[in-house]
Amino acid sequence: MAARDLQERIKKLIVDRRLPSGAPLPTEPELMEFLGASRNSVREALKALQAMGIVEIRHGFGTYVGPMSLAPMVEGLAFRTLAGHHRGEDSLLQLLELREAMEAGLVSRLAGRLPEADLTELAALVDRMEERAAQGAGLTETDRAFHAMLYRGLDNVLLSEVLEAFWDAFHRVQRDLVEVAEEPRVTGRRHREILDAVRSGDSIRAEKAIRDHFGNIRARLSDAVMTRPQDPHTHHNERV
C-alpha cells in the first residue's frame, strides 16, 4: 500500500467524522484494521501527520486530533532559515523583511481603528516594557505580547496566528544564532511611538513607526556577532 494513501485516508477520516481538535482517534490496532495496513505503516503515517500538527500522539494514552496550530509552520520556517544562514544566505534578514512588510501594511489600516480597551492594554504593555528595560531584564516576552495584541483588532484569528508564527520563527533562529546587542531604552521608545501613532489615527505615521522599529532590529542584526558556528547542545524545540 502506498504510505501517502494512508495519510490521506486518516485525514479523510478526521474530516468525514467531523472530529474537532482534541477528539480521540482510533487506536493503532483499530487503524490497522480500518486501513488494512501493518502497525509500522500506520505508525509512520501517524508520525508524518503529527509533524504536520494534524494529530497528537500521547505515549501510553492514545492518539488525538491535533490543535491545528501553526507550530509546524514555525518549525519548518525556523529550520529553513537556520540552514540557509549556515550556508551563507541572508535568510534571517529575509524573514525579518517579511515581518516588516506584513506589519507595515497592516498597521496603517489599524491606525485610529483600535478600541480604547485595546489601546489601554497596549499602553500597559509598553509601561511594563520600559519598567523591565530599567531593570535590565529581557524584553522578548513583552515584545511578543505587544505585537500579538496590536493585530488582535484585525479580528482575523488566522492572520494573528500567522503573524505570531513569523514572530516565533524569527526569534527562535535569532536566539540560536546571534548575540543580540539589545538597547532596551530604544526598544521601549519605538513601541511607545507605535502606540501613539496608532492612537493618533495617522496611518503614515503609524507605518513609519513600524519601519523605524524594524530598522532598529535590522541594525542590531548587522552589528551582532554573527559568529556562533555551532554549539552542540541547543535542543531548541519541545513539541508544543
> Taking the complex as a whole, how short is the minimal distance between the CB of residue 169 and a copy of itself, in angstroms?
11
**Please, what is the angle between helix 116-135 and helix 140-150, to 10°?**
170
Specify the stretch interacting with a copy of itself by CB under 8 A; choose among 28-36, 96-104, 117-125, 184-192: 96-104
Give the cell for residue 13. 477520516
Residue length, the chain?
240
Q: Site for DNA (CB under 7 A): how many residues? A: 23
CA distances 51 to 38, 72, 179, 203, 210, Å, are 20, 7, 30, 40, 34
Binding partner at 14 among DNA, a copy of itself, none, C-beta below 5 to 8 Å by kind = a copy of itself
Binding of a copy of itself by 35 (CB under 8 A): no
109 binds a copy of itself (CB under 8 A): yes
Told to check if 32 binds a copy of itself by CB under 8 A, we report: no
Q: Residues 60, 88, 229, 232: which binds DNA (CB under 7 A)?
A: 60
DSSP bridge pairs for 58: 62
* Position among 1, 29, 62, 83 found at the interface with a copy of itself (CB under 8 A): 83
221 strand-pairing partners: none
The contact mask relative to a copy of itself for 119-158 (x = CB under 8 A, - = no) is -----------------------------------x-xxx
Say how many Å lie between the first and final Cα of the chain, rounded: 31
Cα 59 to Cα 98: distance, rounded to the nearest angstrom: 38
CB atoms within 10 A of CB 175: 12
Q: What is the crossing angle of helices 157-177 and 71-86, to 10°? A: 30
Task: Please report, as ranges, the residues that interact with a copy of itself according to CB under 8 A.
Answer: 3-5, 8, 11, 14-16, 18, 20, 40, 43-45, 47-54, 68, 70, 72-73, 75-77, 79-80, 82-84, 86-87, 91, 94-95, 97-98, 101-102, 104-106, 108-109, 154, 156-159, 162, 230, 235, 237, 239
